Chain A
Amino acid sequence: MLTVENLTCGYGDIKAVHDLSFAVGTGEIFAMLGANGAGKTSTIMCLAGHVAAMSGSVSLNGTTITNQPAQARVGHGMALVPEGRRVFAELSVEENLVVGGHTVGGPELTANLERIFGHFPRLAERKTQAAGSLSGGEQQMLAIGRALMANPQLVLIDELSLGLMPKAIDACYEVLQALKADGLSILLVEQNTTRVLDIADQVIVLESGVKSWEGTGADADGNAALLEAYLGTAG
């Protein structure tokens, strides 16, 4: 599905991620863990086309997208749920979703809206409300809904649970399970390690921009030394 080979990326002359390789399979939840500044967000933003790749390659469903502009990537089946959610605060909930489905034709857009409102009844109740007036959990639902409007096969999610109430986190993880059940691939960056390891099929850990561990979710869950080291660095 998504193949990343020897990817180095960063800002200007500063490399944030070095020589990173991994592959996300169809229908998998793939978790990327690491301390603040380890390069997780840089990796996600590079995959989304917002941070320049200096070397290496990224391919999605066999198409190389390494140097494609951000706006072209959604057409290859990739959608982004960015760190901090970044909903369009002054636009209504419905308008945010319409932007998410920008590349989708009219009739399909209507069908997708109905589907998302069916998934997230809270958003349907508030569809004319400005997105900025929603709670953090509702904004995260909106950011996920907005990504799903594009009919993606792979969803990149940066910091799913950061800053959310426990109840909202539960709801987000339920949504992830449902997406996986629908056959979507998910690349998930998280700080909330315990929740991630319960559902992740594969896990990698980044340290200072370099991959320091990889394995299955179950391996990671049972690996006390890893958890301690990781949680230790995470502080």
Chain B
Amino acid sequence: MLYLELFIQGIIQGSIYALIALGLTLVYGLLRILHVAHAALFTLGGYLGVLVTNATGSLALAMLVAMVVCGVVGMGLYKFAYEPILGSPPFVPLIASIGLFIASEELFRMIFGPYGLSYAVPPLSGQVALFGTFSLRQAEVLVIVLSFAMIAILGWLSLKTRTGIAWRATVADPEIASSFGIDIQKVRYLNFFIGSALAASAGVLVAVLNNLVEPTMGSVPSYKALAIIVLGGLGSVPGTLAASVALGVIESFGTIYAGNFMDRDAIAFAFLILVLMARPQGLLGKA
């Protein structure tokens, strides 16, 4: 029973990782930029989730607002921060991205204060009995259901619709894709919108799980999401999903069985190092 509980806790954490890391993978796949500032949208999503829920009482509305606003802010980041330096060597956008992320943490501190915010009435705090003595919090059930649903929808869009096919073609070869009338610029905006909206949804969910948002809540996800996309194989969407869940589960078991001498993040990076020693290209990356 303990194993099952740990496994399910791992899946919950892995779902959150997946929602954050997907956007990073999408941006890397299309533009070869390590978009560290992506985690700022996760934090912004968390804040919007709490603020809108407290103002209106509706978590669903808060989720929608957070996803749309962060999606638009993500497109703005591309337009004003990345597009002007696309032709530069890869370290230039990377440094710009790190700078943006640090600036965003300070901006959150200045606007929302250093101590963080909580829900006036914590939503979904009841328990859901599953079987036997095993139960989950409503918020945890929401994380699993919502992330599976969103990832399934994204998968369907990219595999079954013409827009999705055009998007995958653009990732594979932008020059040739444009020769068939695909507007590369639109694909990039769409990419940033979807990735940023997913990160925002993760921010809202984490805020519900912890009943807390704070200016630095994005700092651990920012480097852990980088570790996840390396672990999955840079640019590989299925790899990112597999790595997210694997890392969630490993951390969940690790904190119980190795927690005495390694903390959660050390376990995650030890796992990353071990996998990369065996498969330098990542779990599902191409050699």
Contacts and interface: CB of A to CB of B under 8 A. Distances in A.
Interface in A71-91: 71-75, 79-80, 82, 86, 88-91
Interface residues on B, range: 10 to 19
Given A88-B169, A103-B181, A150-B181, A80 B176 contact: yes
Given A88-B169, A90-B168, A95-B165, A71 B176 contact: no
Contact of A90 (B166, B172, B175, B180): B172
Given A71-B184, A98-B162, A99-B182, A86 B176 contact: yes
B127 interface: no
A74 B165 contact: no
B58 interface: no
B178 A99 contact: no
A48 interface: yes
Contacts of A70: 175, 178-179
Contacts of A103: 180-181
B272 interface: no
Interface residues of A, number: 29
A100 interface: yes
B169 A80 contact: no
Contacts of A69: 178
B177 to A, nearest CB: 7
Contacts of A18: none
Interface string B155-175: 000000010011011001101
A95 B180 CA distance: 13
A91 B169 contact: yes
Contacts of B179: 48-50, 70-71, 73-74, 79-80, 82
B183 interface: yes
A115 interface: no
Contact of B180 (A50, A91, A150): A150
A110 to B, nearest CB: 12
Contacts of B162: 98, 102
Contacts of A150: 180-181
A40 interface: no
A91 B165 contact: yes
Nearest to A45: B175
A102 B182 contact: yes
A99 B180 contact: yes
Given A80-B176, A86-B176, A91 B168 contact: yes
Given A90-B168, A91-B165, A91-B168, A100 B180 contact: yes
A211 interface: no
A103 B179 CA distance: 11
Nearest to A100: B180
Interface of B: 162, 165-166, 168-169, 172-173, 175-184
10 contacts: A48-B179, A50-B179, A71-B178, A71-B179, A74-B180, A80-B176, A88-B176, A99-B177, A102-B162, A149-B180
